Structure 1
Amino acid sequence: MKAVIYHNPMCGTSRKTLDILREEGADPEVIEYMKTPPSREELKALYERAGITPRDGLRAKEPLAEELGLTRDDVTDDEVLDAMMEHPILINRPLVATDKGVVLARPQDKVRDIL
């Protein structure tokens, strides 16, 4: 099975998710999104396939999210996506896509839903 993981090797959950993909026989394409972020359109499409909003995909624990006002109740999806394009650290990870769907694999075992 082919899989694409938007990965941050510094993140334990991301590393564990990658291990699960390999253990389950997936052939993961690893995209280190901090070095090669997805385009705005790609990210929006991934979130749509996952059934989540950009706000759901925001790494709200990142101090920059609060500094930029992205934790406000009235923040729009466009504002969140714009910030993610400028600051990829705001993209929560790992985001995994297969032919069966897309998940934000938090916790990492959630990736099994699309294998």
Structure 2
Amino acid sequence: MAADKGKVTIWHNPRCGNSRGALQLLRERGIEPEVVDYLANPPDRATLLEVATASGVGLRGLVRDKEAVFAELGLGGADDATLLDAMLAHPILINRPVVITARGTRLCRPPEKVLELLD
């Protein structure tokens, strides 16, 4: 899911303060990103793997371990394949916001991490 030059994509959850903050920082800099509601339109397996790798945090870093479903599924000691399957089945487990640009991909927690991706 490499970004086209100049294109910015954010995997966004409007109920998340970090996600709203990253989106606001982009817009304050005159960038109107493609906003992907990843809960309604989750990524496919290949895209999720690509983003986890490109972000530098891997699947373990991209999973929301504070979600109730994480504990319910017993994912604490899960391997990457199990985490991937769980994230695809339960997109709420995907951490946010993820911002994808031509300069790189980042999990923007805190939101100011988005500034690392801007010229």
- % of aligned pairs identical? 47
1:103 equivalent in structure 2: 106
1:48 is aligned to: 53
CA deviations on 1:40-68 (whole Å, 9 max, x unpaired) are 11011011111121011000010110111
Q: How does 1:1-115 map to 2 (within 5 A)?
A: 1-72=6-77, 75-115=78-118
Shift of 1:26: 1.9
**Which sections of structure 1, spanning at least 5 residues, go unmatched?**
none
Q: Report the aligned-residue RMSD.
A: 0.9
Q: CA deviation at 1:2?
A: 2.0
The 8 Å contact of residues 21 and 27 in structure 1, kept in 2 or not, is answered as: yes
Deviations 1:51-95 (A, max 9, x none): 1210110000101101111112xx111110100110000000001
SS of equivalent residue, structure 1 residue 55: helix
Report deviation, 1:25. Answer: 2.0
Query: Structure 2: which 5+ residue stretches go unaligned?
Result: 1-5
Runs of at least 4 residues off by over 4 Å:
none
Number of residues of Structure 1 aligned to a counterpart in Structure 2? 113
Greater alpha carbon shift after TM alignment, 84-93 vs 62-71? 62-71
CA distance in 2, matches of 1:16, 1:4: 15
* CA contact 1:8–1:33 (8 Å) conserved in 2: yes
